[in-house]
Amino acid sequence: MIRVVLVDDQALVREGLRALLERTDDIVVAGEADGGDAGVRVVTETRPDVVLMDIRMPGTDGIAATRRIIGDPALSHVHVVVLTTFDTDDNVLDAIRAGAVGFLVKDTAPGDLRNAIRTVAGGDAMLSPTVTRRVMQAAARGAGARDTGQLDGLTNREREILAEVGLGLSNEGIGSKLFISPATVRTHVTRILTKLGARDRAGLVAIAFRTGLVTPEDR
């Protein structure tokens, strides 16, 4: 079972999410919280696989709470998915820097939400097309001169895979496109993360666009 904690200051949102998620045989809601501080406490107590985290909450917001969760070595297995309206690009980039690996807007279809939780629990990042596009545009605007030298340590195959990660493809999608196995893709992604000093796949998306390896026009 994939254990999920819901963190949102609106009770109605939490109730709706719980109802959607518990219609499956492989996902269970392990706890809820109505704010960032409470969310960190519940996550620490329940040790879930995935946290659905709202950004804008009174007091400690979702970005600060995500940073605290990701920064706790005892919670290294926990994956945070930010579920928000993403009103500004800063929210997206701040969430990436905090360590979130999933980004979904609140009007995401129920089936897509459940699949996103499965994807993140399996170790992949999950970015909705809208969020990916915002990351691309913000990275492109803030890039200035392209720092292509950051990619000098990558092989041609690793650059190829990084570009596909930048476009939001999963390991399975990359493997199908490049005619290699998902396990091989995962190995390459792990090496790329190490070489580039990135925390996760979401960080690789930002690097792919900051270096000009992928541009917004490639979507």
Amino acid, single-letter form, for residue 189: V
- On whether both 42 and 123 belong to a single domain, the answer is yes
| 109 within 8 A of 81, measured Cβ to Cβ | no
Judged on CB neighbours under 10 Å (0-12, 13-18, 19+), 171 is buried
Confidence of residue 148 (pLDDT cuts 50, 70, 90): low
Report the DSSP pairing between strands 79-84 and 102-105.
parallel
Query: Domain ends where: 95, 127, 159?
Result: 127
| The pLDDT value given to residue 131 | 64
Closest CA to 132 of 94, 92, 177: 92
Within a domain: residue 134? no
To the nearest whole percent, how much of the chain has pLDDT over 90? Answer: 51
- Domain that residue 52 falls in: 2-127
Cα–Cα distance between 185 and 115 in angstroms, integer? 20
| 164 within 8 A of 173, measured Cβ to Cβ | yes
pTM exceeds 0.85: no
| 4 within 8 A of 51, measured Cβ to Cβ | yes
Structure tokens given for 112: 């897509």
- On whether both 16 and 120 belong to a single domain, the answer is yes
Within a domain: residue 94? yes
Domain count, the chain: 2
- On whether both 116 and 161 belong to a single domain, the answer is no
State pLDDT tens for residues 86-97. 655 567 778 877
Within a domain: residue 137? no
